[in-house]
């Protein structure tokens, strides 16, 4: 490759064009901005359109006017939703479920990751691999057996789990714990061994080593895992639609789809408002903690 | 496994410390015992809510619709007797003889393969553009481009459904401005398939972008400088420097995405609910239709188990990659 270039450049161009590389780069930059704007536009159309529609009245939505513009902006959709007890109920259910799942996940994942990365016991290596494999099992494979299991559980013990919102506290950890454990193992493994050895020598118990040394040091990892657990449980759709049906037990995504769509009547103004408000918590977290969010996203494959 | 571990540890403890004095306490103070108890919630969770249901699903496939009796095969004299009379493949036989099943099978493959390819392509291209921009502005672009991934899929699919709406559709309005006939985005089989794939690509491409961007940043600049000095053109730099350096991440991201896309539920369920005439059903949505809405849990479970072979292959490749890199580190 080298020789051919030299040959070509040698006889034909006696004097090289200085600064051509710089000009090339300037053009590459301009094209990059152009295409990035194009892609950003494509990526942002749906949220923008959600916002546009959320400001319209039903009359304006069904009028044959330009759908991309708001002629008479109104906040009535927001007011209506935020005063509707059903919607507030969905929001509350979602919030309770997501926050509890985050707490449960952390209580399970952090000690387990500590044990698997530092303390080792019979089968711990196999278990670490198993945790990763569990993360790869999709929920669409498990919802039917789980549904039947909960029905059988009801017959045996009389405790009804189906159509109760707390059933989600039981099933969501299967989605969040394996991944959180996996990335916490990665974070804990990157902590120097001298640190916990020093703690042990100073007379700390294993539990103290975990809470006083590892948790503070691995805090960025814990934040990333928390964000992951929260967004996954906030966005989960299959389990709530399969396991809950009564309006007061629904979480946000299912609630919007089952209650705001009445038969064939789509009240699009309200649906878009509901969806936008439902998308707000993850978006706000993302806006403020983007670096942690991205760290958690890339950790699964790059930290391995 | 729990019992086995405790036994193993106990025998070890016996051998190591024959002194009977407070043997139990010693056992509980052992590092491996404490570690085991710290991991116990995780083990219980995985066994009761992941591994047990997975095997329970296999058991469910052998039952009939009401789950009262075994589902035997019918009219199967063309098979060896031991398969026909002794193996409860009734649901499997029923599925394999249905045209809808083969349609769903084909659709799932089409959906997953084309969506992953387009996600990877768009992610690759966009990550290069972001990488080109001065690092000061990269954060802003990256932040904007990741938004589709952050919005819960169910919510953004609703927005797409409204964009695709046949009568008040925002897309059809634009087409009408150019005097192009309106498209029934979710009403005609091939447009519905296109729409479903488009939404999936829209949601998933940012994930590829972020992964590939991380990989691009890990390629040392010296390699590009060396290639440039050697006279490599733009294409050669990508082919001989970028791609080999990113190969691992490209593969692992694509495999991850294959698993998630193949098992996808939200998008099809909300956008088309499998219609028109089951032309967009995937394994996941069809098993939901049969199992939860149709009340035939065994049949639904049989459908969902068809995802296992493809997922297993992808998982095996990922695992090989992850452990290999773990050994290198």
Residue A265's domain is classified under what CATH number?
1.10.3720.10
pLDDT tens digits, A167-200: 889 899 998 999 899 888 888 888 888 888 888 8
Cβ atoms of B114 and B190 within 8 Å: the answer is: no
- The model's confidence at residue A20, banded by pLDDT at 50, 70 and 90, is low
Same domain, A158 and A249: yes
Distance CA A203, CA A206 (A): 9
Q: Residue B154, Cα to own-chain centre: how many angstroms?
A: 16
pLDDT of residue A106: 92
Same domain, A201 and A252: yes
A188: nearest Cα among A209, A162, A157, A171: A209
Question: How does DSSP assign B179-223, residue by residue?
Answer: TPPP--TTTSHHHHHHHHHHHHHHHHHHHHHHHHHHHHHTS-HHH
Q: Do B50 and A278 touch (CB under 8 A)?
A: no
Residue range A43-64: average pLDDT? 84
Distance CA A250, CA A88 (A): 11
- Give me the number of domains chain A comprises: 2
Tokens coding A100: 């509890």
Number of Cβ atoms within 10 Å of the Cβ of B83: 11
Distance CA A16, CA B181 (A): 55
Number of Cβ atoms within 10 Å of the Cβ of B139: 14
Among A79-83, B80-84, B111-115, B214-218, which range has the highest average pLDDT? B111-115
- Interface list for B 197-256 with A (CB within 8 A): 202, 205-207, 210-211, 214-215, 228, 230-232, 236, 249, 252-253, 256
Dihedral in degrees, nearest 10, Cα atoms A113, A117, A120, A125: 90
Q: B162 at the A interface (CB within 8 A)?
A: yes
Distance CA B64, CA B55 (A): 17
Same domain, A105 and A152: yes
Distance CA B58, CA B2 (A): 23
Sorted by sequence, the CB contacts under 8 Å of residue A65 that are 6+ apart come out as A71
More confident residue, B42 or A3: B42
pLDDT tens digits, A142-168: 999 999 888 888 888 888 888 888 888
What is the extent of the structural domain holding A43?
A: 18-47
Please determine, for residue A102, whether its predicted confidence score (pLDDT) is greater than 90: yes
Distance CA B88, CA B70 (A): 6
Size of interface A-B (CB pairs under 8 A): 317
Number of Cβ atoms within 10 Å of the Cβ of A112: 29
Q: Do A141 and B307 touch (CB under 8 A)?
A: yes
Residue A71 lies in a domain: no
Same domain, A32 and A147: no
Residue A2 lies in a domain: no
Question: How does DSSP assign B25-41, residue by residue?
Answer: HHHHHSHHHHHHHHHHH
Distance CA A241, CA A38 (A): 36
Q: B271 at the A interface (CB within 8 A)?
A: no
* SS3 state of residue A262: strand
Please determine, for residue A4, whether its predicted confidence score (pLDDT) is greater than 60: no
Residue A67 lies in a domain: no
Q: Do B56 and A33 touch (CB under 8 A)?
A: no
Q: Do B154 and A257 touch (CB under 8 A)?
A: yes
Same domain, A111 and A40: no
Angle, CA of B302, B305 and B311, to the nearest 5°: 165
Residue range A37-61: average pLDDT? 86
Nearest CA in chain B to A133: B315
Same domain, A157 and A280: yes
Residue A200's φ and ψ, nearest 5 degrees, are -65, -40
Residue B263 has its nearest CB partner, among A62, A138, A177, at A138
* SS3 state of residue B64: coil
A113: nearest Cα among A180, A173, A183, A185: A185
Residue B70's φ and ψ, nearest 5 degrees, are -75, 140
Same domain, A122 and A207: yes
Distance CA B90, CA B71 (A): 5
Tokens coding A83: 């005063």
Cβ atoms of B174 and B167 within 8 Å: the answer is: no
pLDDT of residue A5: 42
Please determine, for residue A248, whether its predicted confidence score (pLDDT) is greater than 70: yes
Which neighbouring-strand residues pair with B225?
A: none
Distance CA B190, CA B243 (A): 34
**In angstroms, what separates the C-alpha of A93 from chain B's closest C-alpha?**
16
Please determine, for residue A101, whether its predicted confidence score (pLDDT) is greater than 90: yes
Q: Do B231 and A143 touch (CB under 8 A)?
A: no
Q: Residue B143, Cα to own-chain centre: how many angstroms?
A: 24
pLDDT of residue B115: 92
Same domain, A28 and A85: no
**In angstroms, what separates the C-alpha of A252 from chain B's closest C-alpha?**
9
Distance CA B145, CA A41 (A): 9
Please determine, for residue B57, whether its predicted confidence score (pLDDT) is greater than 50: yes
pLDDT of residue A23: 72
pLDDT tens digits, B268-318: 988 888 778 888 888 899 999 888 888 888 888 888 888 888 888 888 887
pLDDT of residue A8: 44
Nearest CA in chain B to A119: B35
Please determine, for residue A261, whether its predicted confidence score (pLDDT) is greater than 80: no
- In chain B, the domains with their CATH numbers are 2-52 (no CATH), 61-97 (no CATH), 98-328 (1.10.3720.10)
Same domain, A122 and A183: yes
Residue A54 lies in a domain: no
Give, for B138, the enclosing helix (H) or strand (E).
helix B135-145
Q: Do A301 and B129 touch (CB under 8 A)?
A: no
Same domain, A85 and A137: yes
**In angstroms, what separates the C-alpha of B238 from chain A's closest C-alpha?**
15
Sequence-ordered alpha helix ranges (H) in A55-172: 58-62, 76-82, 85-114, 124-136, 143-157, 167-171
Cβ atoms of A304 and A187 within 8 Å: the answer is: no
Give B-chain residues touching A298 at CB under 8 angstroms.
210-211, 214
Tokens coding B204: 């998933």
Residue B60 has its nearest CB partner, among A139, A145, A279, at A145
pLDDT of residue A172: 92
Cβ atoms of B300 and A144 within 8 Å: the answer is: yes
Sorted by sequence, the CB contacts under 8 Å of residue B68 that are 6+ apart come out as none
Q: Where is the domain boundary, A32, A47, A62?
A: A47
pLDDT tens digits, B196-210: 999 999 998 999 998
Please determine, for residue B20, whether its predicted confidence score (pLDDT) is greater than 70: no
CA atoms within 13 A on the CB side of A203: 0
* SS3 state of residue B23: helix
A107: nearest Cα among B45, B50, B1: B45
* SS3 state of residue B110: helix
Q: A27 at the B interface (CB within 8 A)?
A: no
Length of chain A: 304
Residue A278 lies in a domain: yes
DSSP letter for A265, please. Answer: E
Q: Do B148 and A46 touch (CB under 8 A)?
A: yes
Dihedral in degrees, nearest 10, Cα atoms A201, A207, A208, A213: 90
Tokens coding B197: 């794939």
Same domain, A94 and A218: yes
A138: nearest Cα among B208, B60, B112: B112
Q: Do A297 and B207 touch (CB under 8 A)?
A: yes
Q: Do A268 and B160 touch (CB under 8 A)?
A: no
pLDDT tens digits, B147-166: 898 899 999 999 998 888 77
Length of chain B: 329
DSSP letter for A57, please. Answer: -
Sorted by sequence, the CB contacts under 8 Å of residue A117 that are 6+ apart come out as A184, A185, A188, A189
CA distances B24 to B12, B16, B27, Å, are 13, 13, 5
**C-alpha dihedral sign at A127, A132, A138, A139:** positive
Residue range A63-88: average pLDDT? 82
* SS3 state of residue A118: helix
pLDDT tens digits, A201-246: 888 888 888 888 888 888 888 998 898 899 989 999 999 988 888 8
Tokens coding A118: 């530092």
Please determine, for residue B9, whether its predicted confidence score (pLDDT) is greater than 50: no
Distance CA B6, CA A127 (A): 15
- Interface list for A 230-259 with B (CB within 8 A): 231, 234-235, 237-238, 241-242, 253-254, 256-257
- Mean pLDDT, chain B, as a whole number? 81
Which neighbouring-strand residues pair with B63?
A: B70
**Helices H / strands E in chain A, number of each:** 17, 2
pLDDT of residue A230: 92
pLDDT of residue B183: 76
DSSP letter for A249, please. Answer: G
pLDDT tens digits, B249-259: 888 888 888 88
Same domain, A22 and A118: no
Cβ atoms of A215 and A110 within 8 Å: the answer is: yes
Q: Do B231 and A6 touch (CB under 8 A)?
A: yes
pLDDT tens digits, A269-304: 888 888 999 899 999 998 888 888 888 777 755 433
């Amino acid at each position: 490759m080298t020789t051919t270039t030299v040959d070509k450049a040698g006889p034909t161009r006696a004097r090289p064009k200085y600064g051509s590389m710089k000009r090339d780069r300037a053009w590459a930059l301009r094209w990059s901005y152009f295409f990035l704007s194009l892609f950003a536009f494509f990526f942002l159309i749906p949220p923008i359109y959600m916002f546009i529609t959320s400001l319209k009245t039903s009359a304006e939505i069904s009028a044959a006017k330009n759908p991309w513009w708001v002629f008479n902006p109104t906040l009535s959709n927001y007011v209506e939703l935020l005063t509707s007890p059903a919607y507030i109920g969905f929001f509350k259910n979602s919030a309770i479920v997501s926050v509890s799942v985050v707490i449960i996940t952390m209580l399970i994942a952090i000690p387990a990751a500590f044990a698997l990365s530092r303390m080792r016991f019979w089968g711990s290596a196999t278990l670490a691999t198993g945790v990763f494999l569990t993360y790869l099992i999709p929920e669409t494979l498990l919802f039917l057996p789980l549904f039947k299991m909960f029905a059988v559980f009801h017959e045996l013990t009389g405790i009804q789990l189906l159509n109760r919102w707390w059933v989600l506290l039981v099933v969501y950890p299967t989605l969040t714990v394996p991944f959180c454990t996996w990335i916490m193992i990665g974070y804990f493994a990157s902590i120097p061994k001298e640190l916990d050895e020093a703690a042990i020598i100073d007379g700390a118990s294993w539990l103290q080593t975990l809470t006083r040394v590892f948790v503070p040091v691995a805090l960025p990892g814990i934040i990333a895992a928390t964000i992951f657990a929260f967004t996954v449980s906030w966005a989960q759709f299959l389990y709530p639609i399969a396991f809950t049906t009564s309006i007061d037990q629904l979480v946000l995504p299912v609630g919007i789809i089952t209650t705001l769509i009445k038969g064939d009547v789509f009240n699009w103004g309200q649906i878009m408002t509901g969806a936008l408000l439902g998308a707000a918590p993850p978006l706000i977290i993302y806006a403020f903690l983007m670096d942690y969010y991205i760290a958690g996203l890339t950790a699964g494959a790059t930290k391995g | 496994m729990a019992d086995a571990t405790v036994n193993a540890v106990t025998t070890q403890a016996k051998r190591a410390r024959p002194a009977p004095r407070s043997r139990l306490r010693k056992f509980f103070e052992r590092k491996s015992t404490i570690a085991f108890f710290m991991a116990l919630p995780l083990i219980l969770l995985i066994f009761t809510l992941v591994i047990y249901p997975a095997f329970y699903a296999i058991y469910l496939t052998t039952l009939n619709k009401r789950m009262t009796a075994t589902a035997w095969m019918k009219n199967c004299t063309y098979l060896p007797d031991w398969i026909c009379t002794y193996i409860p493949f009734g649901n499997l036989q029923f599925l394999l003889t249905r045209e809808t099943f083969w349609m769903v099978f084909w659709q799932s493959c089409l959906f997953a393969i084309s969506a992953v390819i387009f996600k990877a392509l768009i992610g690759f291209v966009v990550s290069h553009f972001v990488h080109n921009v001065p690092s000061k502005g990269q954060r802003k672009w990256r932040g904007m481009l990741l938004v589709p991934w952050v919005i819960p899929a169910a919510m953004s699919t609703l927005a797409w459904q409204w964009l695709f709406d046949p009568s008040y559709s925002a897309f059809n309005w634009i087409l009408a401005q150019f005097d192009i006939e309106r498209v029934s985005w979710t009403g005609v089989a091939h447009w519905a398939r296109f729409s479903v794939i488009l939404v999936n690509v829209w949601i998933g491409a940012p994930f590829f972008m972020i992964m590939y961007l991380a990989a691009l940043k890990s390629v040392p600049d010296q390699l590009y400088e060396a290639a440039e000095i050697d006279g490599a053109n733009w294409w050669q730099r990508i082919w001989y420097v970028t791609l080999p350096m990113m190969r691992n991440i490209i593969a692992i991201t694509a495999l991850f995405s294959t698993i998630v896309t193949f098992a996808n539920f939200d998008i099809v369920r909300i956008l088309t609910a499998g219609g028109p005439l089951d032309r967009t059903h995937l394994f996941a949505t069809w098993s939901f239709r049969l199992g939860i809405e149709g009340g035939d849990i065994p049949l639904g479970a049989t459908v969902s188990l068809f995802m296992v072979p493809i997922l297993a292959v992808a998982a095996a490749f990922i695992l090989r990659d992850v452990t290999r890199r773990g050994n290198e580190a």
